[in-house]
Amino acid sequence: MRRRRGRGADRAGLHDGVLHEDGFEVFPLRDDYRCTPQSVASHTLYENADPFELKEPSGTLRTANARYEAISDRAVRVSGSEFVHDPEYTIKLEGVRQVGYSTILMGGVRDPYILAEIDSWLAQLDDSIKTRIRNTIGDRPYEIVTRIYGRNGVMGALEPQHAVGGHEVFILWDVISGSQELSRSIASSVSHLAVHNPIPKWHGLISGVAFPYSPPEIDRGPVYEFHLNHVLVPDSPTSLFRTEYEEL
Amino acid sequence: MTASGATLGDLAKLVRSKNAGPFWLTIDIMFDDPNAYRRARDAEIVNRAAIARLYNRNPADIIVVNHDTALAIKVSFPRPQSSGSKYDSDAYGGQQYAPLLGLEVPG
C-alpha cells in the first residue's frame, strides 16, 4: 500500500507503526501531532478511486470492515481489514510513448469585443491556421491544443460553465508535431495569425493578443502520454527481474 | 450560511481532487463535524446523477462512497484524458472539485 511519509526532511508527516498478527497500531513521531480514527481512516481516500477496495500487487485490500480505534489520545489501532489474493501473481505495467515535440505560446486578450465572440474568433483563427499550414508545410501531421483560461482552461471537458465571465482571458497554445523545428515554425505562424485575427467590429489591422514574451514561441521539447496500462502474469514473482548475487 | 441552507463548500473541512492513477480522478469531501458529515451524506445530494450532470460524465462510470469513519464522501470517475496527455489540463487533477462546492445541502 502506498504510504506518504512526510513532506521533505522534517518529521511532520513521519509515523511509526507496530504490526501485529491481527492488526497494526500507528502514531506520529512528533509529540504535538496526533492520529485519530478519522485521520487514519482518511488515509484510504488518498489517490484511490475506492477507499474500501485498494488494488495492490497480487491482490485487493478490503477495508470495508476495518475498525479504527483510538488506543491513546494520539495512537490508533486498525484491525479487520482483509487482503484477498488474486488467483495469480500479477505485476502492473505502465508506460508512455512520445507523441512529438511541443512549442507553446502564451497570450492574453483584453478586448471586450473579441471576448464577446471568443468562440467565433477562435474558429476563424483555426481556419486561417489550417490554410496557412497547408500552404507552407503541406501534409506533415501536427496538432494545436488551445486552452482558454478564464473560460474552461482548468477543467476542459469537465467544466460545467462555458461562458467567459471576466474581463480578460489567458490563452495557451500548444503545438505538437514530429520535430521541434516544425512545431516552432507552426507556432510562429499561429502567433502572427492570432494577433491579427480580425473581428467585424474593427476595420484595419488589429493587434488582438498580448504576448508577455518576445519571441512568443517557447520550445518544450519531447512530450509523452500514457500508452501502456497492463496487468502482467509472470511465470514467477521474480522471473521478470534480473537478480545478481555478489559474494562479499 | 444559514441554519436552513448551506452549500457543501460551507460545511466541508476540505474538498480536494487528485488523480487515482493516470486514468481516474477522485474527489474527497471531508468534514470535521460528524453532524455536518451526516447532514451532507443523508441529504444524498452527492449522487451519481448529480455528478454525471455537473461533470458531463456517464453515470455508470461514477463511484460515490460514504466513509463514516473518515467523515468523508468520495467521488471517483474516469478522466476525459489520461494525466499529462495532450488534451489534459490538470496533470495532477488538483483543481477539479469546484463544481461540487455550490451544491445546496438542505438543513
**pLDDT-derived band at A57, boundaries 50, 70, 90:** confident
CB contact under 8 A, A225 and B82: yes
pLDDT on residue A2:
41
What share of chain A has pLDDT > 90, as a percent? 80
B44: closest CA of chain A, how far (Å): 18
Q: Residue A24 to residues A20, A40, A58, A75: CA-CA distances in angstroms?
A: 5, 11, 21, 10
Q: Scan for cell 548475487, then name that residue.
A: A245
| Chain-chain contact of B84 with A225 (C-beta, under 8 angstroms) | yes
Continuous segment of H or E residues that includes residue A192: helix A180-195
pLDDT of residue A168: 97
**Chain B residues lying within 8 Å of A50, measured CB to CB:** 63, 65, 74, 76
Mean pLDDT of the B18-39 span? 96
Taking the CA atoms of A196, A197, A201 and A204 in sequence, report the sign of the dihedral they define: positive
The 8-class DSSP code of residue B102 comes to: T
What average pLDDT does range B48-74 have in this prediction? 97
Band of the pLDDT at A50, cuts 50, 70, 90?
A: very high
Q: Is A44 exposed, middle or buried (0-12, 13-18, 19+ CB in 10 A)?
A: buried
CB–CB of B90 and A154 under 8 A?
yes
Write down the pLDDT at residue A126: 97
Please, is B97 exposed, middle or buried when counting C-beta atoms within 10 Å of its C-beta (0-12, 13-18, 19+)? buried
What pLDDT score does A92 carry? Answer: 85
DSSP code of residue A104:
E
* A33, A240, A246, B31 from A7: Cα distances, Å: 14, 33, 35, 23
**Residues B10, B31: Cα–Cα separation, whole Å:** 10
pLDDT digits (tens, 9 = 90+) for A179-199: 999 999 999 999 999 999 999
- What's residue A180's pLDDT? 98
Which positions in chain A have a beta carbon within 8 angstroms of at least one beta carbon in chain B?
A: 37-38, 41-42, 44-52, 66, 68, 94, 99, 143, 145, 147, 153-160, 174, 176, 223-226, 229
pLDDT reported for residue A56:
83
Question: Closest partner residue to B69 among A37, A143, A154, by Cβ?
Answer: A37
pTM beyond 0.90: the answer is no
Q: Which of A229, A88, A84 is nearest to B21 (CA)?
A: A229
Average pLDDT taken over every residue of chain A: 92
The residue in chain B having the minimum alpha-carbon distance to the alpha carbon of residue A148 is: B89
Nearest to A158 among B63, B80, B83 (CB): B80
**Contact residues, chain B, for A37 at CB < 8 Å:** 69
Chain A / chain B CB contacts < 8 angstroms:
102
Q: What is the ipTM of this complex?
A: 0.89
Those residues with Cβ within 8 angstroms of residue A116's Cβ, 6 or more apart along the chain or in another chain: none
Q: Give the pLDDT confidence of A125-160 residue by residue, as tens digits.
A: 999 999 999 999 999 999 999 999 999 999 999 999
- Are A156 and B80 within 8 A, CB to CB? yes
Sequence-ordered strand ranges (E) for chain A: 15-20, 23-28, 53-56, 59-62, 67-70, 76-79, 82-85, 91-109, 142-149, 169-177, 218-232
Report the pLDDT averaged over residues A92-102.
94
- The pLDDT of residue B1 is 46
CB contact under 8 A, A49 and B63: yes
Q: Residue range B1-13: average pLDDT?
A: 81
Residue B107's pLDDT is what? 82
What's the average model confidence in pLDDT over A164-188?
97
Q: State residue A52's pLDDT score.
A: 96
pLDDT of A203 above 50: yes
Which residue bears the cell 502520454?
A: A225
Residue range A99-121: mean pLDDT, rounded: 97
Answer whether residue A90 shows pLDDT above 50.
yes
User: pLDDT tens-digit profile of A12-30?
Assistant: 778 999 999 999 999 999 8
How confident is the model over A200-220, as a mean pLDDT?
96
Residues of B near A (Cβ–Cβ under 8 Å) read 18-24, 26, 28, 30, 32, 54-57, 63, 65, 67, 69-72, 74, 76, 80-90, 95-96, 98-99
Cβ partners under 8 Å of residue B80, min gap 6:
A156, A157, A158, B87
Interatomic CA distance for residues A64 and A37, integer angstroms: 14
